[in-house]
Structure 1
């Protein structure tokens, strides 16, 4: 079973955007994100609008729609079964999709009750019990008393679990690097800076 949450994650690589029909994408143009608008016209550009720009609210909204569509495409790929299987294979870890997803979610939210995590992931708590037991058996997660309720337990990632997460994220980075193997370092750094600025906006306003 694959678990997903609807809100955008920050560190764990997070969430699957709502699937919908997306405009097509064209090859990048000098490092800028290039997509099609609703009329089928190719448009490019991703980043902040410079001061004094003549673009009006309609142009800004259309550009924002293109960014949203591109991000949804990226998210759908990143959290697809095929992509996650590639990440797990490259990491060398023998994890099921459910175990992988739960480990990533615990890493992001820990320490956390499984019941709370089930609500966040929008699944029944009973579906988290088997993968949680497997992760605990492998020493990737540990349970500890909840200071707020002696009857409850919290789960968190152990030292071994953190090493596993590190391998997973390194494998993820390697796969992303393969997709951009024909990009220049300057282009990759430019995109990274733009996405970092967008992530910062999410932290402040999301």
Structure 2
């Protein structure tokens, strides 16, 4: 019984910490976006393209959880800002099909703006063993999956 209560308290503390993390990352993203002139949705999509390689607009919309019409506006802004290029897919049956690719010349700008956070995260990670970092990474992956599943559920899909 006492173990169950302690576990519940610990789980509640983790959830509260995740809420705090969410708030702080939202604030960081807002400041970051202002520095590089990217809206939240634009930054999310650019990050997805950078992490997952060239993507079709439809695949990117699905990953980002955005409606295709919204994705068009995001891609237009990213292209105008020099963050991405749209390339025709010669292998596609639909001649309108394009692949979205991040431009490499602006990526160093992102790293520069985020260098403070990256350095702080390096210091945080230095405090943990490799085994502890593996547990933390597993927890964060599972938390991200739970967030994804909840977003899909709320979206009715």
- Structure 2, gaps ≥5 residues long: 146-157
Q: 2:54·2:99 contact (CA, 8 Å) conserved in 1?
A: yes
Deviates more, 1:164-173 or 1:109-118: 164-173
Structure 1 SS opposite 2:48 = helix
Distance between the aligned counterparts of 2:91 and 2:23, measured in 1?
37
Q: Which has the higher contact order (CA 8 A, sep 6+)?
A: 1
Call closer, same or farther: CA 1:97–1:87 in 2, change over 3 Å: same
Q: What is the aligned residue count?
A: 139
2:63 maps to which residue?
120
Is 2:132 aligned against 1:189? no
One of 8, 12, 18 as aligned partner of 1:71? 18
Q: Deviations over 1:147-191 (max 9, x none)?
A: 8734322212121242233234325447xx5xx9xxxx6x77326
1:8 maps to which residue?
none
Q: Deviations over 1:98-152 (max 9, x none)?
A: 4333222322333222222222322211112123122223332123345873432
Q: 1:104·1:165 contact (CA, 8 Å) conserved in 2?
A: no
Is 2:146 aligned against 1:199? no
Alignment of 1:7-46 (within 5 A): none
Call closer, same or farther: CA 1:123–1:192 in 2, change over 3 Å: farther
Q: 1:77·1:83 contact (CA, 8 Å) conserved in 2?
A: yes
Call closer, same or farther: CA 1:110–1:188 in 2, change over 3 Å: closer
Deviates more, 1:189-198 or 1:125-134: 189-198
Distance between the aligned counterparts of 1:86 and 1:64, measured in 2?
30
Distance between the aligned counterparts of 1:203 and 1:149, measured in 2?
33
